A = this chain, B = another copy of it.
Amino acid sequence: MALVEMALSRILIRENSDQQVIFLKEKGGEGRTFPIIIGVFEAVEINRKITEVETPRPMTHDLVRNVLHGLGAELVRVVVDELKESTFYAKLHLRHEGEEVVIDSRPSDAIAIAVAEKAPIFVDETVLDEVGGQTE
């Protein structure tokens, strides 16, 4: 499995739409990029993490982070590792007491948490091949 490091390069938040779009872009190399359709709640949360807007109370993605910290786990990286029937699949790779624990996640949740935790985001090369990531 070859992993390609990506950055979250763009979020499009459209009012009155259930579907929002984020773009991941290859950090090095050719700068390949592709969109992922996500929900409005997750898009707002990712945007909040990027702009580092603090909320008075923990939002649901902060709760995930608080659980990780409270149980002594650390988010090492996020990997978008599969594309099946137009749905992207992702994993949280955690370190917990010296062991790696892998948790199934939607890419939107994984990316919201990765942005807040400043953890790297990877995409499997096979997924990048499938989406035919265009350079800009």
A residues in contact (CB < 8 Å) with B: 41-42, 56-61, 63-64, 66-68, 70-71, 73, 87, 89, 92, 94, 96, 101-106, 109
Q: Do A58 and B104 touch (CB < 8 A)?
A: yes
User: What residues on B are CB-neighbors of A42 within 8 Å?
Assistant: 60
Cα separation A94 to B68 with both chains bound (whole Å): 12
Main secondary structure of the interface of A (DSSP, over half): mixed
Contacts of A64 in B (CB 8 A): 60, 63-64, 67
Complex CA distance for A73 and B41, rounded to whole angstroms:
27
Contact of B94 with A70 in the complex, beta carbons under 8 Å: yes
> How distant is the Cα of A21 from the Cα of B56 in the complex, in angstroms?
20
A109 touches B67 (CB 8 A): no
Q: A41-B41, A71-B71 are in contact. Are A58 and B101 (CB under 8 A)?
A: no
User: Which residues of B are found within 8 Å of A70, using beta-carbon distances?
Assistant: 94, 101-103
Q: Is the CB of A61 within 8 A of B60?
A: yes
**Contact sample, A vs B, 13 pairs, CB 8 Å cutoff:** A41-B41, A41-B60, A58-B106, A60-B60, A60-B109, A63-B92, A63-B103, A63-B106, A63-B109, A67-B71, A67-B94, A68-B71, A70-B102
Kindly provide the distance from the CB of A110 to the nearest chain B CB, expressed in whole angstroms. Answer: 8
CB distance from A79 to the nearest CB of B (A): 15
